[in-house]
């Protein structure tokens, strides 16, 4: 079963789900024991394929940390927090968390893009 921890204890994802913003960027950092990496990837792939079919889903990309790190980072784009909230709180998604290895810990958090002159567009 996937363990969920707050990336920001002062404002965890459960609080963020009440926000209204479009688009919404999910950043989810996973930590897993090396012997459970294959199981993590299989469970994540199943979740990603399910999320891909949900209204408001735009894209996702999984990254693995370099070297001997146990971290993975998922970056997903949603049309809005409301769309993400509907998928994230769906009973089918909640039941899929049981497919993750017991060593897996996820720290999901929602973000919004910022405009920075000459560097980033919003």
- Give residue 122's pLDDT: 82
Paired tokens of 45: 């792939």
Q: 40: helix, coil or strand?
A: helix
Report which of 60, 65, 64 is spatially closest to residue 26, judged by C-alpha positions: 60
Task: List the chain domain ranges.
Answer: 3-111
Model pTM greater than 0.85?
A: yes
Tell me the mean pLDDT in the region 58-86: 98
- Give residue 76's pLDDT: 98
Distance of CA 82 to the CA centre of its chain: 15
Paired tokens of 30: 């996973």
CB 7 within 8 A of CB 109: yes
Distance of CA 9 to the CA centre of its chain: 16
Residue 101 has pLDDT above 90, yes or no: yes
- Give residue 64's pLDDT: 98
CB 12 within 8 A of CB 6: yes
Q: pLDDT for 18-63, tens place per residue?
A: 999 999 999 999 999 999 999 999 999 999 999 999 999 999 999 9
Q: pLDDT for 62-71, tens place per residue?
A: 999 999 999 9
Looking at CATH, the fold of the domain delimited by 3-111 is given as Alpha-Beta Plaits (3.30.70)
């Amino acid at each position: 079963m996937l363990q969920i921890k707050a990336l920001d204890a002062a404002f965890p994802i459960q609080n963020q789900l009440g926000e209204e913003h479009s688009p919404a960027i999910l950043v989810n950092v996973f930590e897993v024991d090396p012997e459970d990496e294959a199981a993590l990837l299989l469970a994540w792939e199943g979740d990603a394929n399910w999320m891909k079919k949900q209204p408001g889903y735009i894209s996702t990309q999984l990254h693995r940390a370099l070297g001997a790190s146990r971290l993975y980072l998922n970056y997903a784009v949603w049309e809005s927090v409301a769309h993400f909230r509907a998928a994230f709180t769906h009973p089918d998604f909640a039941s899929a968390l049981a497919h993750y290895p017991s060593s897996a810990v996820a720290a999901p958090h929602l973000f919004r893009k910022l405009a920075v002159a000459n560097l980033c567009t919003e």
